[in-house]
Amino acid sequence: MPILSRPALVEHLVRTRIAGDVATPRDNNLSHYRKLANGDRHYWLGLELGDRWTDEQDVLAVMAERCGVIDDPAHRTGQDTIDPELTVDGLDRMAARLRKAAAGKERVLFATGHPGALIDVHSRVAAGLRAQGCDIVTIPGGLVADEGYVVQFADVAVFERGASLWHTHSPEPMNAILDALGEDGRPDLVIADHGWAGRAGQRGIDSVGYADCNDPALFIGEAEGTMQVTIPLDDHVLDPRFYAPMTAYTLNASGLL
């Protein structure tokens, strides 16, 4: 695949609605910001936010700055946005962390709560790191969480229940992995999303996460220093192949191609 320039990648992100005018509606975003501020741990994505984020307007301010949502609190319904320049900025920060991982031949764990969209993104990055001598974590078998199983496909940990891979925000699958690995098997870096990424960061592991504009916790985590990098994007667009140019850009920027 040709490697897009930054301007061409920005145009691609907007055209495919990975960023720009995204599908997630404004009222859904604000509802999630309010629930996080009200202490609903489902929206904390494995982070421990304490009482530091009890004002939804503070959450909105972080999301405007780090994700590019519309910063007007009076805008309650209709279209919301992700700034594609912030998406590429996040990819560049991720690439810097990947270069460090490759140079140190680090132990890296990949996981996703969006297997229908992001499993190939994670898998391709895992392949790039393995080619540079990194140890891609193989999770132990038989792990159980949230009345389902934590399994691994194409180097990526996912949540399975009823013979299907599930979309999940829960941090419990990551807890199950880290508890089973123990200190001796602890990864140096986690690349993930949702509660998988948040809980890894909360447990003191360098964590890089993709996050949608209705998932404010990981952006707050980066603002507080618990997350290494949070990349804003629509985390389930119409066709998962739309993410391929973004992944190729990241691999090229990190020297993994």
The four Cα atoms 129, 130, 131, 133 give a dihedral, to 10 degrees, of 100
Q: What is the pLDDT of residues 32-75, one digit of tens each?
A: 999 999 999 999 999 999 999 999 999 999 999 999 999 999 99
Q: Which DSSP helix (H) or strand (E) runs through 81?
A: strand 81-82
Cβ-proximal residues to 243 (8 Å cutoff; 6+ apart), any chain: 18, 117, 118, 120, 121, 237
* Mean local confidence (pLDDT), 134-150: 97
Task: Give me the mean pLDDT over the 169-181 stretch.
Answer: 98
Q: What are residue 149's DSSP bridge partners? A: 144, 160
> What pLDDT is recorded for position 229?
98
| pLDDT tops 90 at residue 1 | no
Question: Strand 135-136 and strand 107-111: pairing?
Answer: parallel
Provide the sign of the torsion angle of the four alpha carbons 181, 184, 185, 186, taken in this order. positive
Please state the pTM of the whole predicted model: 0.97
Q: Please check the confidence at residue 253 and state whether its pLDDT lies above 90.
A: yes
Instruction: Give per-residue pLDDT as tens, 180-220.
Output: 999 999 999 999 999 999 999 999 999 999 999 999 999 99
Q: Give the model's pLDDT for residue 138.
A: 98
Provide the pLDDT for residue 196: 98
pLDDT band at 29 (very low <50, low <70, confident <90, very high): very high
Three-class secondary structure of residue 159 per DSSP: strand
Amino acid at 197: A
Burial class (CB in 10 A: 0-12, 13-18, 19+), 78: exposed
As a whole number, the mean pLDDT across the chain is: 97
Q: Render pLDDT for 6-20 as a digit per residue (tens, 0 to 9).
A: 999 999 999 999 999
Could you write out the DSSP letters of every residue in 97-149? HHHHHHHHT-EEEEE-S-HHHHHHHHHHHHHHHHHTT-EEPPPPTTEEETTEE
